[in-house]
Amino acid sequence: MATTRRNFINTLTKGAAAASIVPMVGNAFELAAESSVTPVISETAATFEPIAKDHYRPPFNIGLGGVALGNGFKETTDIEALDAMEAAWKAGIRYFDTSPWYGLGQSERRMGNFLHGQDKKDYVISTKVGRLMYPDANFQHKLWKGRLNFNYKYDYTAGGTRKSVEDSLLRLGIPALDIVFIHDLSPDNEDFKGKWLDYFKIAQDGAMKELTKMRDEGLIKAWGLGVNTIEPALKTLEVADPDIFLSATQYSLVKHKDDLNTLFPACEKRGVSIVVGAPLAAGLLAGQDRYLYGGEKPADIMAKYEKMKRVAAAHKVDLRTAALQFTVAPKVVSATVPGARNAKQVMENAVSMKATIPADFWAELKKEKLIETNAPV
């Protein structure tokens, strides 16, 4: 193991020296295509052939998502975060998902504050690559509250990917990662100004190949994309050999058609599994007055939600519980990762996974066309 880590660090050092990594200065929203990270034309996509293999799946069907621990939507104290982690552990939760992006490093630091004292073989952790952090005491972002102290630059190159993984390990204070997701490589990323395919090309020639190499070296168990749309995941299946996708905001009780009918079948053909992100629609299905991350509350979604609340009340079903169980019903789903800000929310989610929901509740949702008729329940 010591030799493996030395090879990792040596490779990281050589890669950083050789690769054109995005400079840690300048406008946080510069296109990578305008910096030293430019798309490289390659013929690999035309000749890519998937290799039949067993892809890693996390062995736990519920995890803890790290957005709230990174001060998503409002500030979370260090004590609340530690209490949430301790409650998750006591409840038997052993899968933790985080990212450098969540609070510009805060989520990783807070998760690591608890996990560094645990035996690594006892839990699974996933984090993400694509953004590198650099110190900036005055930077603020509309999603992350409180004092951040860091800014970010996009870097989907091979060298940037290795550096991001090493940075995450340092923030977490743990010896290894299990799953690495390439983060927000998606058409809905406003920073890309519509040019997400330029970034995708960089990742195809950089991050995807590097993560495949790291998996083959035994440094990680699996890699994939963590995105809010399905197009990038489908495209990755065409050009690379991913193991698992974090599909966020696309498979919930109030929105699931595209994942169910398009992404899931494509993944099943390749033996690739799904981690469901934002299973509670970023709070809506837990009773919060918000939907996802953009601040909008679409009329059709809210109307569906109100009807679902009435059906749930009639069947004496907790809608949050139903929402969580719904997301782990498909065979292709390996885990769902609801976020939690404190111990109470963690315990509620854990209890929900053990509750019994009457079949009549699901039948009525399908009869009223509130969920797809082919959706597993």
Provide the pLDDT for residue 257: 98
Assigned token pair, 185: 């490589």
Q: Which of 105-123 are b and which e, b meaning 16 or more Cβ less than 10 Å from the residue's Cβ?
A: bbbbbbbbbbbeeeeeeeb
Q: What pLDDT score was predicted for residue 296?
A: 85
User: What tokens does 360 get?
Assistant: 């009549």
Per-residue pLDDT of the chain (377 residues; tens, 9 = 90+): 444 444 544 444 444 433 333 333 333 333 333 333 333 333 344 456 666 578 999 999 999 999 999 999 899 999 999 999 999 999 999 999 999 999 999 999 999 999 999 999 999 999 999 999 999 999 999 999 999 999 999 999 999 999 999 999 999 999 999 999 999 999 999 999 999 999 999 999 999 999 999 999 999 999 999 999 999 999 999 999 999 999 999 999 999 999 999 999 999 999 999 999 999 998 999 998 889 887 789 999 999 999 999 999 999 999 999 999 999 999 999 999 999 999 999 999 999 999 999 999 999 999 999 999 999 99
Sheet holding 95-97: strands in order across? 64-65, 95-97, 124-129, 179-183, 222-227, 244-248, 273-277, 333-337
End-to-end Cα, the chain, rounded Å: 43
CB count within 10 Å of CB 294 equals 14
Instruction: Give the pLDDT confidence score for residue 10 in this predicted structure.
Output: 47
Among 104, 208, 87, residue whose Cα is nearest residue 151: 104
Bridge partner residues of 64 (DSSP): 96
Are 138 and 187 in contact, with CB atoms under 8 Å apart? Answer: no
- Give the pLDDT confidence score for residue 51 in this predicted structure: 63
What the block records as the tokens of 290 is 């918000």
Token pair, residue 92, equals 């038997």
- Using an 8 Å Cβ cutoff, are 198 and 35 in contact? no
CA–CA distance, 71 with 49 (Å, rounded to integer): 42
Would you give the distance in Å from CA 347 to the centre of its chain? 21
Provide the pLDDT for residue 227.
98
For position 295, what pLDDT does the model report? 77
For residue 301, the surrounding DSSP H or E stretch is helix 299-314
Domain map (residue ranges) of the chain: 2-367
Question: How much is the pLDDT for 45?
Answer: 42
Nearest-angstrom CA–CA distance, 155 and 199 = 9
The string over 69-79, giving b where at least 16 C-beta atoms fall within 10 Å of a residue's C-beta and e elsewhere, is bbbbbeebeee
Residue 285's pLDDT is: 96
Q: Class of the 2-367 domain?
A: alpha beta
**Strand partners for 222:** 179
Structure tokens at 258: 């595209």
What predicted TM-score, i.e. pTM, was given to this entire model? 0.87
